[in-house]
Structures are given as C-alpha cells and as structure tokens.
Structure 1
Amino acid sequence: MHYGYRVAAIFLLGFFIDCINIFMSAIALPSIAAQMSVATESISWMANSYILGLTLIVPLSGWLASRFGTRQTIVASMLIFSIAALGCARADSFSTLVAWRFIQGAGGGLLIPVGQALTFNLFQGRQRAAISTLIMCVALIAPALSPLLGGMLVDVLSWRWIFYCNIPFSLLAALLAAIWIRPQAMERTRADITGIILVCGTLGTLLRSLSLFSEQHAVPQAALWLGVSLLLGWGYLRHYRRQSTAILDLSLLRNPQLNLSIAVYYAVPGVFTGVNLLNIFYLQQVLHFSAGHTGSFMLLYGVGALAAMLVAGRIYYRAGAPRLFTCGMLLHSGGIVLLSLVSDTSSSGILCAAYLLMGIGGGIAANCAQTTALIELNEQQMSGGSTLWNINRQLTFSLGTALFTLLLAVLSRYFPGELAWHLAFIIAAVSGLLPLWLIYQRRFHKEIQ
C-alpha cells in the first residue's frame, strides 16, 4: 500500500474511533444514570468531560508532535485512549467515570489534528479533495451506526461494553502507527499554556454553573461558578491582547463568514446534540423504548445527512450559502418540532420522519458551515482560523448538552410529565432558527448600500 494511504488509513481509523465515542456513549447514558444513581442533569458530564479533554489537547497537539515526533504522538494518543477506555469500563463510581472520560478525550484528541495535518501534506489537488470526502463520510457513518450498535451492546451485555469494544480498534491504530508512520523532523512551536488554561477553565466553570442551575437548592453555587467563568474569560481577553501567539485569535471573529458559520454550528449540530440526548432519555425513561430501538433512528439521520451533504456540496456555488443555510435550518427545526408530537410507542413513524428531516437539514447546514467558515481566510490566517473552528466544533457539543439538560430541568418544575419534554423540543426548534436573523440582516445591509 502507498505510504500516503497507510497514513490516511490510520488517521481515518482514529477519527472514526473518536466520533463513535461521542455518539455511542450517549445511548448508554440512561443505563449509567440508573446504575450509578445520577440525576439526568448531571449525567451529561460524562459527555462533557470527554469533549473538554479533547478541546484541551487540540491546541497542544502541534507542539507535542514537534517536540516528540508525529509517530510517537499518534502512538501515545491511541495507547492513552485504550487505557482510559479500560478505566471507563471498570469505573465503580460516576466521578471516576468522568475522570477517565476526560483522559480518553485527551488521548483521542491528540490524533485528530496531527493525523489530519500529516495526511493532507501527503496529498494534493483532487487526491486531497477525495480524502476530505472520506473524512466527511466517516463523520456521518459514525453517528448513524454507533447509537444502534451501542444500544444493542447495552441491551444484550451492559453499558461497560460500550468502552470495552473500543480497545481492540485503538490498539490496532497504535500498532499500525508504530509500524507504518515514518519518523520525520518538525519545526518546534511554542504552546500558549496560559491561554489553554484560561480557555478550558472558562468552559469548565461555565458548564459546571449550568449543571448547578438545574438543581433547585444550588443557585448560589451556580452563580459563583458563573462568576468564576466570567472572570476567567475576562482574564483570557487580557492575555490575548498581550500575547501575539495566543491560543485563540479572536480577531478572526470579525470575518463575517466565520462568525456566521460558528453561529449556524451552534444552532444545528450543537442544538441537535442536546435534543438527541433529551430524546434518548425521553424514549427510554418515559416511553420505555429499548436502547437498540432508540439508537436505530440515527440510521435515518445518517442517510438523510449523507444525501444532503453530497447534494449541498455540488450546488454550493450555484445556490449560495444564505439559501443553503436557510433551507438547512428550517428542515432541521421542522424535524425537532415533530419530536414534540411523539407521545407513545406507536409514534415510530413520526420519529422516523423527525430524524430524517433533522439529518437532511443538519447535513445541508453543517456542510455549508464547514465550507463557508474558512473560505475567505488567507494563508497566514488559515492556521488560527482552523484552530478556532475545530475548538468551536467541540464547544457546540458541550454547550448544547448542558443548555438543554438545564432547560428540561427548569421546565419540569413548572409543567407536568411529558409536557415539559415537548416544550423543550419546541424551544430547541425555535433556537435553531436564530442565525436566520444574521443572514437576512446582512443581506438587508448589502441591499441598501
């Protein structure tokens, strides 16, 4: 096999492993919550800790690769991931599970930017475009298949096998990296350690405050954590103004294409992550669907997203980003509205239509956001823009999960039974349309100039 394809195979295997860990573990959350007696609003920390670990390590990955070498970094990434997966599977308390998930996220996050950079450097032109298509396909196949497979593991064995099943694949990726990747010299870079600490501290304390706000007797603590988050965020702004190589180049947010794409990513993949988590609990805890049945609906989401993404990629320049964004968000929110109509086990048809619509809308919007985000950045801005965009993608998942579990907890205090769940879905559908204001405000300003 050609060296470039060997490297691409290692990267795609690691990327697939990382993707399935976000979506496969979600299907097991109700079982974990029941066994470990964890409240619904707190169980999201299992997902958030994984994404926090991944977010923390992404900016450090380039420095680690330049310091220790690409091959050693990728091998270490998969070995750390394997050890952490074993720790998750054997965890006997929720706090231990959350800690191992953080380490697992850090291990998986090491491979993504290093492997992607190495792979893209080995391909040019149409070959690079083909590799990009494979990456997008992996990103779709993982959320489509992993909930169903994860649900079957939970139903037949236990939630612990969600983590055990990852270990052979991550060890295979480590072995292939050790055998196939050639040693190479890299220019050493400096890491903005202070910036990393401030950014991750801001996010971690913000998520902690959101989690506490959902508990009736913890409002003072929640307000304290929120204050700490704002203080750390202010600290990063001061650091950013003094640091020429800060971890996040906030000046790039002035680019209208990038900030619109970020807003759309929060409104579509971010909202979907939170909505899907709520629906998993709703179907399993309220309507008593099995984990496997619950996970099967994501197959329709994956089919719809794949078809939409292929079409959107072909018509992007002809239709234009505003039209594609609008179409994607309307379809995605329409699918979420359908979730509010699900009331019993005979509603499988509505669930199928909901996930298909969310998949089509999500595929259009996410693909358009990915294409639009960096389209106008020059060569000097590309590295900072890529870092900002990839960190933002991880934050959308964490914040979407935290905000909608908080929303459900608040609604459950004032509205009985299923009504609280249905209202949460309707509010989510409306919030998924908020970036439309940005799109048409900009179009209006262009028309009057």
Structure 2
Amino acid sequence: MSQAISHRALQPEYRLLVFLVSIGFFMQALDTTIVNTAIPAMAKHLHEDPLNMHSVVVAYVLAVAACIPLSGWLADRFGVRNTYLAAIIIFTLASLGCGLSQSLNQLLVFRIIQGIGGALLLPVGRLAMLKLIPRDQFLSAMSLMSLAGLIGPLIGPTLGGWLVEVATWHWIFLINLPMGVLGILVTLKALPNATEPSVQAFDFSGFLWLVIAMVGLSLGIESFASTAHSHWQGLALIGLGLFSSAIYAYHAHTHQNALFRSRLFKNNIYAIGILGNFFARLGGNAFPFLLPLMLQVAFHFEPFITGLMMIPLVLGSLVSKPIVRPVIQRFGYRTVLVVNTILVGSALASFALTTADTPLWLRTLHFFICGMLNSTQFVAMNTFTLKDLSQQNASSGNSFLSMIMMLSMSIGVALAGTLINLFTAHYGVAQVTTAFQMTFICLGAINIITAAIFWKIPKNSSI
C-alpha cells in the first residue's frame, strides 16, 4: 500500500506550481548552455579575443555558486513567493541588460546580476514544491520538473548557434524576456507565500568568507590567462581564496549558526564525495564550454552546425540516466566511480586526437560516448555524496554540494581558458588547434588523478 501511495500521480491543483518551477529551471538550464556556441560571435562584436571570453561563463556561474547559500534563508525569511518572484524579476531584467550590453565589462556586470537571480530560481522552486506538494506526489512533481532541466541543455547550444546566424548574439539573452514575464504572472497566480514562523539569524560573516574564497580562487586562476595582470596578482588572489577558505573552516567549527557546520565532514562518505565532486567536475564541466569554442575557433565550423554537434553529448547523457542505478547496484560505488573517473579523463584527453577532418559519424559517436560517461559520473557522485547524510544534515549538505558543483564549474572554465591562452602563447596563434588539444590532455589528466580520491570509498559501499 505504501508503495502505491509514494508514487501517486500529480493532482491537477499542483500542476501550475510545477509548471512555474519548470519555467525557472528551464531558464537557468538554458542560460548555462546557450552562451557557449555564441562566444566567438560575441567576441567579434565586442572586439575581444574569443579565447579570453571565458569570463562571460565564469561571472555567471560564480555568482550562482556564491548566492546558493542565501536561497534557503531568504525563502524562509521573506516567503517562497516573494523570493521566487524577486529571482525571476532579477534574472529577467539582467537578461535585458546582457542583451543591450555594448562592451565586455557591461556584459560581465549583468551576467553577475543574472547569476544572482539564477542562484535562487532552482533551490527556491524546489523548496516551494517540497513545502506545498504532498509527499506522496512529490516524486511525480520532481520527474515532471526535471524534464525542463533536460530540454534546456538539449536545445541551448543549437538555439544559441541558430540565433547568432539568423539574428545577433544579443537574442540569446533577450529570449529570456517572454519566459520571464510568463513566470512573473504565474508566480502571482500559483504560488502562495509560505514562510517559516521562526528563522535563525543569517550567518553573514561566514557567507562573506565563503564568497571571498570562491571569488579569490576563480579570479586568481582566470587572471593567469590575461597579459594585463601579473602572475603575482593571480597568486595573491589564489592565496586570498585559500586563506578565506581556512578562516571559514575554523568559523564552521566554532560558530553555532554557521551556514555549513563542520560536523557535515565527520561523515566520511560525504567528505570523500565533496572532494571527488570538486576535482572530477573541473574537466567534466569545462568541456561543454571548450568543445564549441574549439569547433568554431580552431576548426572553423559555423555556429549552428556547432550547436547541432552538441546534441549527441546531451543524448548520451539522457541514455545513461536509467542505467546508472543498476550498474552501481551490481558493482558498487567504489568500482563504478574509480573506473568511470578514469574513463572520463581518457575521454577528455581523447579530444586531442580529433581534427577538423574527423568523419562526422566518428565525431558524433565520440561526443555521444563522452556525454554518457560524464552523466554517469555526475549521477554516481551526487547520489554517493548524499546517501548517508542524516535528516538533520540533509538540507545544508545538499546546499553545500550544489555550491561546490557550481564553484567547480567556475574554476574549471577559468582553468580551461587559462590553459588555452598559456598554450596559445607557447605554440603561437597559428597553432591554436594544438593549444586546445594540450588543454584537453591536461583536463583529462586531472580527472584520471581524481580516481585516487574515489579509491578511498569503502569496498562495500552500494545503494
């Protein structure tokens, strides 16, 4: 009986709420991917080097990572409707600002603001569903909502490439405006303003140390890519990031109201999962940014064709999802994560073998397999990391994992951009293909080394 209750179909009165959260999820997922194929066109219009445009991605993802810890507290303090409405308004207006930007600096400012809105959309939307939808219908609601997150990456790169060719790059941001207006109207109609009766004071000092740590590490790595900054400046920023991380670690241990208490990391499974997630995602999150850039800058593919070439990646990701759980049940987390981490690293390094003349069928198969391996890695890492958390630590543990995922993407893209520029400076602009190939080898090597972290997983660890 309980089995039947836990899988009840979603009742009609909750469908509009799920549709609303799906709008936010779709906008956020679309915006994370749609930019990648448009970067060379943006660089040309803004008179910038396309190899220095990774900051457009880093600014957005870093802002998302920094503001994730705020989301739950804001929703509890001001209500889910008010917070979600503010998030959509911020995201929509920032999208308009991005679309009207006339310089890289203007674009970066609006990308940061857009990231602040994007950081609140998914966590607050998921929280609204958790508070308002009965538990026996929650699984159905999450399944429907997750479709929006799959559609965004599926159409994002192709839509971005098509818009660049038929219009201008500005439209990859302006396309958010009608969705944003629709989201605002549905929020006012479908979302009650559920609040918590008592909310703890927000840990602003801890939040500040976390933000300084994330910004210092990301910008420190990114600054090595620019000739305008000295290496000492980059090292100073990285040092500041590490110092702030250490301060926060002490704060988390001693402060009763810390955002993420140190007791989280007394759980050995969680600690291994967080460390593995951070390093394994550096390459896995960078290559959806690197691939479109290589196809256009090094191989001279058109933006729309480049976008189409990204579809096998997403299809590979979709195909892998149903098989991950049975594979883990059969072989256990340790074997799956160690082997798959090495395979993902090898797949990343294998892009060094691809050229402009690689046959289409082989390139499609290559991308499809990489998408399968990358998705298997992410699903296995996430479920492993959270599987043994107590109910008491589940919320903060999940938030910290979300933050680490976005921080790793930010640092991964910054690292990829830095490596491309360093190798381009070494080999010369005429050898830009070699620069991309060496970057993929480096990212693949980092992934393969990360397998040592997952080797620490207990042998009997399974679902």
TM-score by length of 1: 0.92
The 3-state SS of whatever aligns with 2:258 is coil
C-alpha distance in 1, partners of 2:290/2:84? 34
Letter in 2 for 1:364: T
**Cα deviation, residue 312, structure 1:** 0.9
Matches for 1:240-279 after TM superposition, within 5 Å: 240-279=252-291
Is the Cα contact below 8 Å between 1:71 and 1:177 reproduced in 2? yes
**Cα deviation, residue 193, structure 1:** 1.2
Letter in 2 for 1:159: W
Q: Does 1:419 align with 2:434?
A: yes
Q: Which residue of the other structure, out of 435, 443, 450, is the alignment partner of 1:435?
A: 450
The 3-state SS of whatever aligns with 1:432 is helix
1:135–1:317 distance in 2 versus 1, CA, 3 Å: farther
**Cα deviation, residue 389, structure 1:** 0.8
C-alpha distance in 2, partners of 1:149/1:364? 25
Number of the residue aligned with 1:149: 159
C-alpha distance in 1, partners of 2:267/2:359? 44
Number of the residue aligned with 1:74: 84
The 3-state SS of whatever aligns with 2:35 is helix
1:22–1:92 distance in 2 versus 1, CA, 3 Å: same
Q: Which residue of the other structure, out of 310, 323, 335, is the alignment partner of 1:298?
A: 310
What is the CA deviation profile of residues 342-385 of structure 1, one whole-angstrom value per residue up to 9, with x for unaligned ones? Answer: 22244433321221111110121111122111110111111221
**Cα deviation, residue 414, structure 1:** 2.8
Number of the residue aligned with 2:353: 341
Most deviating of 200-209 and 158-167: 200-209
**Cα deviation, residue 443, structure 1:** 5.1
Number of the residue aligned with 1:393: 405
Letter in 2 for 1:48: V
Most deviating of 360-369 and 332-341: 332-341
**Cα deviation, residue 441, structure 1:** 4.3
Is the Cα contact below 8 Å between 1:84 and 1:101 reproduced in 2? yes
C-alpha distance in 2, partners of 1:287/1:300? 18
Q: Does 1:381 align with 2:396?
A: no
Q: Does 1:196 align with 2:207?
A: yes
Q: Which residue of the other structure, out of 223, 230, 238, is the alignment partner of 1:218?
A: 230
C-alpha distance in 1, partners of 2:209/2:313? 36
Matched residue count: 446
Q: Does 1:364 align with 2:373?
A: no
1:124–1:316 distance in 2 versus 1, CA, 3 Å: farther
Number of the residue aligned with 1:100: 110
**Cα deviation, residue 437, structure 1:** 1.4
What is the CA deviation profile of residues 213-244 of structure 1, one whole-angstrom value per residue up to 9, with x for unaligned ones? Answer: 22356212222222322332233233323311
Q: Which residue of the other structure, out of 199, 206, 220, is the alignment partner of 1:209?
A: 220
Letter in 2 for 1:44: H
Q: Which residue of the other structure, out of 1, 8, 13, is the alignment partner of 1:3?
A: 13
Q: Percent identity?
A: 24
Is the Cα contact below 8 Å between 1:263 and 1:435 reproduced in 2? no
Number of the residue aligned with 2:25: 15
Is the Cα contact below 8 Å between 1:66 and 1:189 reproduced in 2? no
1:440–1:225 distance in 2 versus 1, CA, 3 Å: closer
What is the CA deviation profile of residues 69-103 of structure 1, one whole-angstrom value per residue up to 9, with x for unaligned ones? Answer: 21111111111111100000001111111110111
Number of the residue aligned with 2:363: 351
1:263–1:355 distance in 2 versus 1, CA, 3 Å: farther
**Cα deviation, residue 23, structure 1:** 0.6
**Cα deviation, residue 410, structure 1:** 2.0
Instruction: Name the Cα RMSD after superposition.
Output: 2.3
Matches for 1:402-413 after TM superposition, within 5 Å: 402-413=414-425
Letter in 1 for 2:92: S
Is the Cα contact below 8 Å between 1:62 and 1:114 reproduced in 2? yes
Is the Cα contact below 8 Å between 2:77 and 2:195 reproduced in 1? no
1:163–1:390 distance in 2 versus 1, CA, 3 Å: same
1:126–1:174 distance in 2 versus 1, CA, 3 Å: same
**Cα deviation, residue 330, structure 1:** 3.9
C-alpha distance in 2, partners of 1:392/1:383? 14
**Cα deviation, residue 172, structure 1:** 0.9
C-alpha distance in 1, partners of 2:224/2:141? 43
**Cα deviation, residue 338, structure 1:** 3.2
TM-score by length of 2: 0.89
